[in-house]
C-alpha cells in the first residue's frame, strides 16, 4: 500500500473513531509502510512464529544469541504487525470501553506503528509481566540498554518521548543506519 493510500486509510479510520486528523500531525507520528518482505525471526513467547524484515530478523537473531551467551533470556513478544492487525488491537480496547485518547497513548494509530515496518520487537523477560514498565527492572532490560545498539536496536519510547506514547521499555526498533553488526 502506498504512503498516500495509507494516509487516506488512517484518516478514515481515525474519523470513524471520532479522532480528528490533527492527532497524527500534532504528535508528528511517522507513517510506516507495511514491510514487503518478511523473514522468520523466531518463536514468540506465545509459541507463534514471529516475522521481521529480513535484515532486522538477522539482527534480532544475533542479538538474541549474544544475550543468551551472556546468560540473559530475551523473550520475543511481538514483531511485525499489519495495519489491519493494529486496527483490531485498537478496536478490541475500544470494545472494552477504553477511551480512544487513552488507547492512543499505548497503541499507535494504524499506519503509524513501527511494527508495520517489520523492524520493531516487543521484548519480555521471564518472571516479569509482559508489556509493563516492570520490564525496566529486569536483567533483559539492563542487557539491552548496554548492548542493543551494537545490533542496531534502539529504545523507541523512553519516558517523555516526543510522540506522546507512554514509556515502553519493552519496545525496541532496528534502524539500519545504526546497525553496527
Give every residue of the chain whose pLDDT is below 50, as ranges.
Answer: 179-181
Answer for the pair 23, 90: CB distance below 8 angstroms, yes or no: no
Within the chain, how many helices (H) and strands (E) appear? 6, 6
Which helix H or strand E contains 170, and what residues bound it?
A: strand 168-174
Fold for 3-178, please state it: Muramoyl-pentapeptide Carboxypeptidase; domain 2 (3.30.1380)
Q: Global pTM?
A: 0.90
Domain range summary for the chain, segments of one domain joined by + = 3-178
pLDDT digits (tens, 9 = 90+) for 114-145: 999 999 999 999 999 999 999 999 999 999 99
Amino acid at each position: 500500500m502506498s504512503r498516500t493510500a495509507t494516509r487516506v486509510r488512517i484518516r478514515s479510520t481515525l474519523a470513524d473513531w471520532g479522532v480528528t486528523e490533527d492527532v497524527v500531525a500534532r504528535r508528528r507520528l511517522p507513517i510506516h509502510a507495511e514491510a514487503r518482505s518478511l523473514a522468520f525471526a523466531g518463536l514468540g513467547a506465545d509459541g507463534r512464529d514471529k516475522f521481521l524484515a529480513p535484515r532486522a530478523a538477522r539482527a534480532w537473531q544475533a542479538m538474541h544469541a549474544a544475550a543468551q551467551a551472556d546468560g540473559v533470556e530475551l523473550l520475543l513478544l511481538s514483531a511485525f504487525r499489519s495495519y489491519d492487525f493494529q486496527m483490531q488491537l485498537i478496536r478490541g480496547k475500544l470494545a472494552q470501553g477504553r477511551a480512544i485518547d487513552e488507547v492512543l497513548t499505548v497503541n499507535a494509530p494504524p499506519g503509524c506503528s513501527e511494527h508495520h515496518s517489520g523492524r520493531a520487537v516487543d521484548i519480555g523477560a521471564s518472571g516479569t509481566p509482559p508489556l509493563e514498565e516492570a520490564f525496566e527492572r529486569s536483567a533483559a532490560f539492563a542487557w539491552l540498554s548496554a548492548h542493543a545498539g551494537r545490533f542496531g536496536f534502539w529504545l523507541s519510547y523512553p519516558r517523555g518521548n516526543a510522540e506522546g506514547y507512554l514509556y515502553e521499555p519493552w519496545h525496541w526498533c532496528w534502524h539500519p543506519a545504526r546497525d553496527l553488526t
